[in-house]
Amino acid sequence: MPISPVELQVQFFDYLFGNTRGYVCICIAPPDNPRANFKQEFFAWPEQKSELQDFVNHASLQNNVWFGVNLLSAETRKKEHCLPDNLVWSDLDTADPALLVPEPSVLIETSPGRFQAIWRLDQEVIPEIAEDYSKRIAYKYRRDGADPSGWDLTQLLRVPFTYNYKYAVGDTPPPQVKLLYAHDVLVPVEIFEGIEPAPVSQGELDLAGLPDLKMLPRREQI
């Protein structure tokens, strides 16, 4: 008996989060005026797995549906509440997935010719490290079409087997968000350590370039 898209969605979240406890953020927005009608819902994982499944299934009939790639310690989508995990992510946009090294663990086609990717590491890392690895990937492939801003800890990715209403035109139905594959092989952390670090973004403070305050002369010595 074929597995339904709803059941596949649950398997997808099981694949990503396993038995790790936290809150999954699901965001929805209708095709018309999505900014004004953007909503967030939070589900305790794995206790509210069924409620999450029902919500996504119902919401996807008329809404774009995204999920927060990081589990949260509280019902708010902020960096300080992101939990340690083993996931690295990228909004590839138009970048060719065949170029990616290492190969993603998960490849999602959000619309024809546009992709998102997730890597599952062989060990859990703190949120700041996961974000750093994601930023490295974004900058490595930005000239190939990857979104250089899609690396932050509160990043949203589209839920597979929902619909991308952004590309519904006239009587043309919206394309389904496809899960192209999900591999079981875990990616060694050392591979991401070998990717060139991304430049410091505007507004970020590069502490490594600052002098040691203890080595500065006292005011009365100047």
The amino acid that residue 108 corresponds to is: I
Residue 208 has pLDDT above 50, yes or no: no
- 152 within domain boundaries: yes
Instruction: Round to whole Å and give the CA distance between 71 and 77.
Output: 9
Cβ neighbours of residue 49 closer than 8 Å, sequence gap 6 or more: 10, 13, 14, 43
Average pLDDT over residues 96-104: 97
- 221 within domain boundaries: no
- 218 within domain boundaries: no
Lowest-confidence range among 11-25, 60-74, 156-170?
156-170
Lowest-confidence range among 21-30, 102-111, 169-178?
169-178
Residue 6 has pLDDT above 80, yes or no: no
Q: What is the pLDDT of residue 134?
A: 98
Instruction: Round to whole Å and give the CA distance between 41 and 10.
Output: 16
For position 146, which CATH number holds?
3.30.70.1790
- 215 within domain boundaries: no
Domain count, the chain: 1
- 108 within domain boundaries: yes
Q: Strand 114-125's sheet: what is its strand order?
A: 85-93, 114-125, 106-111, 178-182
Give the domain range for residue 45: 5-199
Instruction: Round to whole Å and give the CA distance between 95 and 163.
Output: 21
- 214 within domain boundaries: no
Average pLDDT over residues 190-209: 73
For residue range 56-76, what is the model confidence (pLDDT) as tens digits? 999 999 999 999 999 999 999
Residue 138 has pLDDT above 90, yes or no: yes
Q: What is the pLDDT of residue 205?
A: 44
- 209 within domain boundaries: no
